[in-house]
Amino acid sequence: MTEIPVLGLVIQFAGFLLDQLPFIAHAAVGLSIPIALAGMCGVVSERSGVVNIGLEGMMLTAAFVAWVSGVVAVAALGPGTATPAFGITLPLLIALAVAVLSGMAMATIHAWLSISVRADQIISGVIINVAAAGLTGYLNTLIASQSPIGAGGFTPLQLPAELTSLPVVGWLINALFAQGPIAIGALILMIVLQVWLFRSRWGLRTRAVGEHPRAAETVGINVVRLRYRNVILSGAIAALGGAYLSMELTNSFQADMTQGMGFIGLAAMIVGRWTPVGAFGAAVLFASTRAVSRAIIFAAPTGDLGTFLSGIPSQVWDALPYLVTIIVLAGLIGRSIPPAADGQPYEREAAT
């Protein structure tokens, strides 16, 4: 008796998802960007053998620094004129540059602790996270009390209607490219990193150092220098994810606004088998639950499905991305193998 209504609901829900696909796909890509950038940050760092769980803190720092330097730049230079596409202004560009530098600075601390001091890399990452949460919370309390004027944010690209209404692929073009500059930059970065990692000298060396640093050293690769470079580069990538949060997804900073996205990004990296494209794909998967919940709010379905969905408490949707992450991680992990030297400090053999 009860199976028929359940089946009916499932069919209705599938129909609703199909109907809302353009909206859901667009929202999923938009929400996946910080997770995907975190995942790619993890790929660059861990492929060279350094575990980076401090990326959450690097993102948070960059999100805060982007907002604050926007405030300072607007105060010093005025709001500036925005370009027609993306709404880029001089203060926004300065803010983005400073944010990336701040992420690289945090990454340098992590690199020093895990490569030079040879500390436990997970504890080092926790230090970055605690420091970032503390410093940004502390400064935010001080600065927010003066209600400053920020630099605003980037705007998404306006695509011509002919392009987005194309049959079959219109929704995909809309989802991927009707986004802000950092999001589109992340898509480009995904392709560039994928090619670099598997087709360039840097990529070969990175993978060699991540798998067998001693062997890499014997053929003349400077393990320590390469790891430093990769970790600092990964900090820049994480910083883009943080800047995306406070410059593109929203126009301001809130305390703890990363909300574990860096850690979801790490899970995306594992699920994506330590490749940029895989990490991006997993990030879209993780973000899609939140996109669906938005679709349900903005275009609430009617009828049986509507009553059923409105009976689901909002907290279920809040918890869903994290639950999906756990389930996928636990289901896939045995088949996803990390770089062999991941997390292990490297000590050069003493010359005798």
Partner 1 sequence: MSAARRSLRDRAVAAIRLAWSTLALPVLAIFLGLLAGAVVIILTSGLVPNHPFDPGLPLRAYSALFDGALGSDNGRVETLVQAAPLMLAALGIGLGFKAGLFNIGGRGQFLMGAVASVAAAQLVHDSGPLVAIPVALVAGAAVGAAWGFLPGFLKAVSGAHEVVTTIMLNYVAVALLSWLVAGPLRLPKSPQPVTNDVGDAALPILLGRDGHIGIILAFLAVPIVWFFLYKTTRGFEIRAVGANPDASRYAGMKPRRMIVLTMSISGLLVGLAGAGNVLGLNHEIPASFSTTVGFDAITVALLGRSHPIGIMLSALLFGALRQGSQGMQIDAGVPSQLVDVVQATILLFLVASPVIQAVLRLRGVSSGLGTTETMTKTYGTESVR
Binding site for partner 1 (CB under 8 A): 51, 53, 109, 113, 117, 119-124, 126-127, 130-131, 133-135, 137-139, 141-143, 145-146, 259-260, 263-264, 266-267, 270, 313, 315-316, 318-319, 322-323, 325-326, 329-331, 333-334, 336-338, 342-344
Cα 47 from Cα 236, distance rounded (Å)? 16
Q: Least Å distance between CB 11 and partner 1?
A: 28
Q: Least Å distance between CB 163 and partner 1?
A: 37
Q: Least Å distance between CB 326 and partner 1?
A: 5
Look at residues 237, 66, 76 and name the one whose alpha carbon lies nearest to residue 154. 66
Look at residues 241, 293, 244 and name the one whose alpha carbon lies nearest to residue 38. 241
Cα 48 from Cα 203, distance rounded (Å)? 9
Q: Least Å distance between CB 318 and partner 1?
A: 4
Q: Least Å distance between CB 275 and partner 1?
A: 14
Its sign, for the CA torsion 189, 192, 197, 203, is negative
Neighbours of 149 (CB within 10 A): 10
Record the tokens describing residue 246, joined without a space: 């406070």
Nearer to partner 1 by C-beta: 51 or 175?
A: 51
DSSP string, 60-99: HHHHHHHHHHHHHHHHHH-S-PPPTTTT--HHHHHHHHHH
Nearer to partner 1 by C-beta: 63 or 178?
A: 63
Q: Least Å distance between CB 1 and partner 1?
A: 28
Cα 242 from Cα 108, distance rounded (Å)? 17
Question: Can you tell me which residue has the tokens 């990390």?
Answer: 338
- CB-based contacts of 312: which residues, under 8 Å, 6+ apart? none
Record the tokens describing residue 283, joined without a space: 């990030």
CA distances from residue 107 to 19, 51, 100, 140, 336 in whole angstroms, order as listed: 43, 12, 11, 21, 26
Nearer to partner 1 by C-beta: 89 or 293?
A: 293
Question: Can you tell me which residue has the tokens 């910080």?
Answer: 34
Nearer to partner 1 by C-beta: 135 or 277?
A: 135
State the alpha helices, DSSP H only, in 245-299.
261-271, 276-298
Nearer to partner 1 by C-beta: 4 or 330?
A: 330
Q: Least Å distance between CB 142 and partner 1?
A: 4
Q: Least Å distance between CB 217 and partner 1?
A: 20
Nearer to partner 1 by C-beta: 297 or 299?
A: 297
Q: Least Å distance between CB 89 and partner 1?
A: 25
Cα 48 from Cα 347, distance rounded (Å)? 14
Nearer to partner 1 by C-beta: 125 or 153?
A: 125
Nearer to partner 1 by C-beta: 184 or 270?
A: 270
3-state helix, strand, coil in the chain (%, to 5): 75, 0, 25
Nearer to partner 1 by C-beta: 135 or 173?
A: 135
